[in-house]
Structure 1
Amino acid sequence: MPHSHDRQAGADNTYAAVFDAVRRIPAGRVTTYGRIARLIGRPRAARQVGYAMHRCPSGLPWHRVINAQGRISLPAASTAALAQRRRLEEEGVVFIGGKVDLDRFGWPDRD
């Protein structure tokens, strides 16, 4: 059984890879937790991407990561969700019915 520090090192490596991928998302584009997981070579780790996003460093464009349905994953009326939507709209991302068209605004164009 791995030691807890081994698991922590694995989580730290995953988080670092997630943060590197998020830094590459261009303004005006979005990506999903699942796409980030695939980009870092952990295609079944979308949930871990979500955990990493809860610990993202300041300056990271966290607002560009949304769920696979094209929606903001935070509670709808929360301050953070409103800030995420405002930031995306300021970058030119359009919401229709509370959703972003991933074909139009998704990054990367191909997984």
Structure 2
Amino acid sequence: MLGYVARNMREGTVETAQWNEVDERVGADAVLLDTRTPGEVADGAIPGALNIPVDELRDRMDELPDGRVLAYCAVGVRGYLASRILVQAGREAVNLDGGYTTWKAATQG
């Protein structure tokens, strides 16, 4: 999986964001998408995120508002998959490197 991610980043197929870019990338024209399971979300999430588990994303894309999507999961793999699914469906999507785990460690110590 890491090889796919690296190749897609090198080729510009996938765009990533860092934990400190969340606020600037999510605004009036973007949505924060949590691709983890509801059980994981119950233990904490980035405020304002919409939860659609990656396994349900293809069937629930109509729930996403228009605009750019910043996808995340626990550490980045499901967020990466979600961003690829969204881009292939014609959406503009970015994956949060390190996911919720990195964001939480950086913002909540």
Smaller-chain TM-score range? under 0.3
TM-score under structure 2 normalisation? 0.26
Q: Which has the larger radius of gyration?
A: 1
TM-score under structure 1 normalisation? 0.26
Structure having the higher strand fraction is 2
